[in-house]
Structure 1
Amino acid sequence: MPLVKQVLIVAPDAEFSRSLEFVLEAEGYMITAKPDLEAALSLRDAHFDCTVLDQAAAAGPAMDVIHFCGVARPVILLSNTSLPWLSNWVAGVVEKPMLGQALAAAVRRAVVSGTNLEPPK
């Protein structure tokens, strides 16, 4: 019997976070949700197979966000604008407003790969 995959959602908007939880729970994932990077980093002893990061939660200093993407990988970024500096540090980007299947497919790919894209050299 396969193990249930654990997904961390980081999104400050509670209603949006719940909708993400609904989509991913329907795909069979176990979900933990946090409103910001600081709260997510407080889970340092927990293991997640994938992290879904809302762009709104990535509003802090660029180096803090990049550090988070390095320790929380693989990361799927949910973005409504282009963030080339950040998209180099994540496993995938899903544009908002996203369709449920686009998010589920991105998480599936990230869980299988287990890593983010290689950062630029």
Structure 2
Amino acid sequence: MRLVCLRVHPTFGLVHPTESFVSFTSIDGSKHEVWPESGEQFYEGNLLPNGEWIIIDKCLSLGLVNRFNVKEVFKCLIHWGTGTVNLELWSEDRPVSNQSPLRISHEYEVIEIPKL
């Protein structure tokens, strides 16, 4: 039996890479700000973002919110590239069939951020 993992793997270009960060509150209630110098970070279990995370550009006062169904996401990955960031959603590894498909429901929204 083969195990399958669904991976949502978008790459976002950053207008101000040094003034941008990812912010979220984990399932356990802890708050996180993840900056480019932190490198690649995985989050799972109670540290998983609680249904949304946001890329914030402090210079533009804009944020890109990614909302998702936490029941469908097993782990999240933040990967910083050169002027880019990936916000990845991963499902659990499991067998898939017509009766038990893998799905990750998610959406994006651009919002205005009050001056920080």
TM-score (norm 1): 0.28
Q: Identify which of structures 1 and 2 has the higher relative contact order when contacts are C-alpha pairs closer than 8 Å and 6+ apart.
A: 2
TM-score, length-scaled by structure 2: 0.29
Greater percentage in strand: 2
Answer 1 or 2: which has greater helix percent.
1
